[in-house]
Chains A and B, each alone.
Chain A
Amino acid sequence: EVQLVESGGGLVQPGGSLRLSCAASGFTFSSYWMHWVRQAPGKGLVWVSRIKSDGTSTTYADSVKGRFTISRDNAKKTLYMQMNSLRAEDTAVYYCARDRHCGGDCYTTDFDSWGQGTLVTVSS
């Protein structure tokens, strides 16, 4: 069974930093592109970032570019998001999501498995 478990959320002051983790199990983690998607309280879904299966390619939403860094450790089957210079508008539940596999180096941006989410609250 595919399982994604996020951790690392919490309350942080504006300008602070936080590191999220997403532990994967039940599938060959190193073969899949992975994503972070967030959802502000009571709002819709917003894509944040993606990373290639081998970690050599990353892409970010404009709203987080230069502040957030996605990474992965395939030996530990874990996805990360380092979040710096946090702002109130970054307050959200952060989900890690698996890209539906299409073979080779391609990605689909179809999110076929999701974690339960971790809440990040940026407030003084």
Chain B
Amino acid sequence: DIQMTQSPSSLSASVGDRVTITCRASQSISSYVNWYQQKSGKAPKLLIYAASSLQSGVPSRFSGSGSGTDFTLTISSLQPEDFATYYCQQSYSTPPTFGQGTKVEIK
């Protein structure tokens, strides 16, 4: 199975900050990475697919980049509703696997 490793595991940031979360795959996966946001007690929500494609309805402050083994999710200006846990996921091979999550907290 492909292992996805996110960093950091948690971070504290203020409204308006630029936030970057990284995800590293245990082998090359081209651009087959998705990013999800999960708020406490809620289902995950797809933000980015295929490494850099913005899912319909997702604000443009979210962006993704990377290919091969290293990927990044960036929130350009953190908003109050963005405090949540973020997961990367590889869709390159079966089984699809997720990172362990990055919790974004209020500073």
Contact = CB atoms under 8 A, between A and B. Distances in A.
A109 interface: yes
B95 A111 contact: no
A117 B43 contact: yes
Interface in B18-76: 34, 36, 38, 42-46, 49-50, 55
Nearest to B90: A109
B87 interface: yes
A2 to B, nearest CB: 11
A116 B44 CA distance: 9
Contacts of A112: 46, 49, 55
Interface stretch (A44-52, A68-76, A77-85): A44-52
B98 interface: yes
Contacts of A95: 43-44
Contacts of A44: 87, 98-101
A46 B91 contact: no
A34 to B, nearest CB: 14
Given A44-B100, A111-B46, A112-B46, 19 more contacts: A45-B38, A45-B87, A45-B89, A46-B98, A47-B97, A47-B98, A95-B44, A109-B91, A110-B34, A110-B49, A110-B50, A110-B91, A111-B34, A111-B44, A112-B55, A114-B44, A114-B45, A115-B43, A116-B42
Interface of B: 34, 36, 38, 42-46, 49-50, 55, 87, 89, 91, 94-101
